[in-house]
Structure 1
């Protein structure tokens, strides 16, 4: 997952939102870090490029991909070996579905909690 970042002045003005983590059983967890990694692999076509973009090591990115592939019981990312033709990675249909479903759950959850989040923002602002 991406490294935690430190709060900035802009964060103080950001509206509250939920961060969703799904526990799918058998130890498989999917949260914003893994989903962002999948999205970046989809954009870049590369696990190493995705890791660099998210400031995570290739090893960590690869471990997260392997965890997802194993935990889902079907590959979410397929890789091609490097060499003269180059390598790369791409999301499978299952990987695209994981991203789509996670983002839908995230949006629905934030919408359902909207009034509560607004109330917390008012409390925070005094």
Structure 2
């Protein structure tokens, strides 16, 4: 997916723009596509058709639940939240609303699985893309309980960079399970500060280290999650959006 000249994202023939972002945010706020369409003064058929086109190009964006004691409804997938964060970061670059920053965690590689490395940091273990270990730094015959090759940590000091636009925030009771996937990092923490803009907020999350994680989220997400200083949150970010580079 590539960013175009204007504030939109392109996937094949489909462009994701501000109108599409409004639709996803409305689904998040209203809890259903039908109510989201009403809130935006759009027809349900038009909203459904557009969402279908977006999902055909971008993958699942909304999880639909039918009936039940809660009456059914819809919620955004993690992919949809990542998409919104990326779009808001792109729009921020054009409007000057906010700068994308990186949190840097120092650590040591404790295991490797292809291009992905498991890094032990003061905040906990992080999965990240990492350059291959230098010759002689891996003990190929050794493996951990999951069969992942174990690296010589003494030779693998790295720094892990986490971009603010790659971080997704969740309420603790709605966060993805820690064991759900090794491709997504997950840290519990509390909100240290919120720098609110007109549409975008920079949220700093204390995860128990000297370095705080920064997340770039929409103001509607701040309201939906009821974020304030001291609020408990779970920050997650994809391993494939995280880079580990050789440390000092």
TM-score scaled by length of structure 1: 0.67
Structure 2 portions without partners, runs of 5+: 1-5, 98-248
- Alpha-carbon RMSD across the aligned residues, in angstroms, is 2.1
Greater RCO, CA 8 A, separation 6+: 1
2:82 alignment counterpart = 97
1:40 alignment counterpart = 26
Alpha-carbon distance in structure 1 between the residues aligned to 2:48 and 2:68: 18
Change (3 A) 1:83 1:59: farther
Structure 1 runs of 4+ with >4 Å offset: none
Aligned pairs for 1:105-124 (under 5 A) are 105-111=90-96
Q: If you compute each CA radius of gyration, which structure gives the higher value, 1 or 2? A: 2
Structure 1 portions without partners, runs of 5+: 1-18, 113-126
More strand by share: 2
TM-score scaled by length of structure 2: 0.35
Aligned pairs for 1:12-27 (under 5 A) are 20-25=7-12, 27=13
Q: Structure 1 residue 40: deviation in Å? A: 0.6
